Structure 1
Amino acid sequence: MEIFDCIAAVARPVHDFGDEFMSDDATAAIGLRAGFSPGRGFYCRGRFGVLGEAPASVVQAVQGFLGPDLVATGWRDGRPVMPAEEAVACYAEAVRTWGRAFIPADADVEHFNCLAQQLIDAADADALPLFAGWRAQPVPGDDPVGAAMQRIHVLREHRGACHLAAVRLSGLSAREAMVVNLGVEQATHYGWREPGPVAAALIPHRQRAERLTDELQAPLYAMLTARQRADFARLVDALTGARPS
């Protein structure tokens, strides 16, 4: 399989599977049991805690795509519950727990973990601090299914960080990119207040951003052989094919 064919095959399943984890009530319930209040505290503190005890404005600048009020509120609400390092460990366990529930039992997670780790290790993390922070988190050796889900999450963070850079290089703000991609209603759901429609002329900018994102990810997938890329695409499909009902 060619490099860009592999990227095209895995980008959406990895993104969507991770999105389903983040939005699942079962994930929120783990945060509630850990002491977080209903809302975005567990999500913000757990996902972005790899940045350390940073100001909310720094977290906003790094993650980009969520509205600043959503991030500031979630970060503020989550801070008193536990230190960032503990919140990340709790969130990582939630990632693995969700994977154990939804990755099919017959999926070849050992092969996936081997290939996924090659990609993660090969990545240049310069200017990708959220990815770098998640790559640095320990992955348990005695939980292959949970480890597979954690690696999906790390790869999702890599593409997301690359996409934020590509969006800005393409002349879009993060808000504009969210509206072009998802529409006004969904952009509002993700924290952008009164985002308003964007001009149709910006649509080609988003298309350019997608191409640039693929190009930024290409060096990772060049580390695999054509056969390994085909295997990886097949494995991603097998792992992410069982969607929550």
Structure 2
Amino acid sequence: MAELTAEETVQAADKVLHDVGTVWMLHPETQARGAAHGYPKHLAFYFAGRGGVLGDVDAGVVTASMGWWNPGLVRLMWDRGLAVAGAREGARRYAQACADWATDHLTGFAGTDRLTELAEKVVSGAEESGLPLFAGWRAEPRADGGPARLLQLVHVLREWRGSVHLVATTAAGLGPLEAILTNEGQQQARFFGWRDDLPDCGHLKDRQVLAEQTTDRLVADTYERALTPAERAEFADLVRKLGDEVL
């Protein structure tokens, strides 16, 4: 039976989980669902939905919990999103949009039940201290089963690594804009709402490398506790197949 170390599991699965989550969140059908609920911009639905698990908080709390986004953009879209239905209802609608997208696009995926079972183990085994966005999404109700529950768990896993990485970048001494520029570059910084002249952060690249290493280590610790070596190999293989289905 094939086996994987926890570190190998990180390398095999985490980017795919991130990218699958990105697809459903940015998909035109998700944007259309937000518009149908009355959200004036797709980012208003994104922030009110994704950040809604934090409750009725100031936009600064959302910025701090998500990381990397330009604070002015977060405040604008958070306030617009909350004006539609409030934070908790926004989160509920966003979770339903995730479930609906999965039903539309993942019905028939052969690995649904087993990947759901393994993902549940990882989600349950992760430490939530210092990770409010992950903690909020882990506490949300999920669909009873099928592709809807699976994609909701993928979303929770994405929030887990993202939250861990935010802690790691902060610990490495990187500010939000510096974390983007030393990793994905100027184009991604523009996507995250940064509009002024962008600084050269090449001299901070070693901090970004350290942050990635720290993130991988912390995530691997959970894979080590939550899954056996054989389960890790199965998990990574099913995540790969899910990626093949979506990406």
TM-score (norm 2): 0.94
Distance (whole Å) between structure 2 residues aligned to residue 72 and residue 174 of structure 1: 16
Structure 1 residue identity aligned to 2:16: P
Distance (whole Å) between structure 1 residues aligned to residue 180 and residue 196 of structure 2: 13
SS of alignment partner, residue 36 of structure 1: coil
Aligned-pair CA distance for 1:139: 1.2
Distance (whole Å) between structure 1 residues aligned to residue 200 and residue 102 of structure 2: 37
Q: Which moved more, 1:182-191 or 1:230-239?
A: 182-191
Structure 2: which 5+ runs fail to align? none
Structure 2 residue identity aligned to 1:207: V
Match in the other structure for 1:209: 211
Match in the other structure for 1:138: 141
Q: For residues 193-204 of structure 1, what are the structure 2 equivalents within 5 Å?
A: 193-194=195-196, 196-204=198-206
Structure 1: which 5+ runs fail to align? none
Aligned-pair CA distance for 1:23: 1.2
Would the aligned equivalents of 2:99 and 2:143 in 1 still touch at CA under 8 Å? no
Would the aligned equivalents of 1:21 and 1:27 in 2 still touch at CA under 8 Å? yes
Distance (whole Å) between structure 1 residues aligned to residue 211 and residue 197 of structure 2: 20
Match in the other structure for 2:246: 243
Aligned-pair CA distance for 1:242: 2.2
Aligned-pair CA distance for 1:195: 5.1
Q: Which moved more, 1:45-54 or 1:22-31?
A: 22-31
Aligned-pair CA distance for 1:4: 0.4
Aligned-pair CA distance for 1:201: 1.9
1:63 has 2:66 as partner = yes
Match in the other structure for 1:183: 185
1:39-71 superposed Cα distances (whole Å, 9 cap, x missing partner): 411000000000000001111111112111121
Q: For residues 1-150 of structure 1, what are the structure 2 equivalents within 5 Å?
A: 1-103=4-106, 105-141=108-144, 143-150=145-152
Aligned-pair CA distance for 1:38: 2.2
1:162-182 superposed Cα distances (whole Å, 9 cap, x missing partner): 000000111111111111222
Q: Which moved more, 1:85-94 or 1:177-186?
A: 177-186
- Number of matched pairs: 243
Structure 1 residue identity aligned to 2:101: W
Aligned-pair CA distance for 1:104: 6.0
Distance (whole Å) between structure 2 residues aligned to residue 127 and residue 195 of structure 1: 32
Distance (whole Å) between structure 2 residues aligned to residue 230 and residue 144 of structure 1: 22
Distance (whole Å) between structure 2 residues aligned to residue 152 and residue 226 of structure 1: 20
Match in the other structure for 2:236: 233
Structure 1 residue identity aligned to 2:78: W
Identity %: 36
Moved over 6 A (4+): none
Aligned-pair CA distance for 1:136: 0.5
SS of alignment partner, residue 107 of structure 1: coil
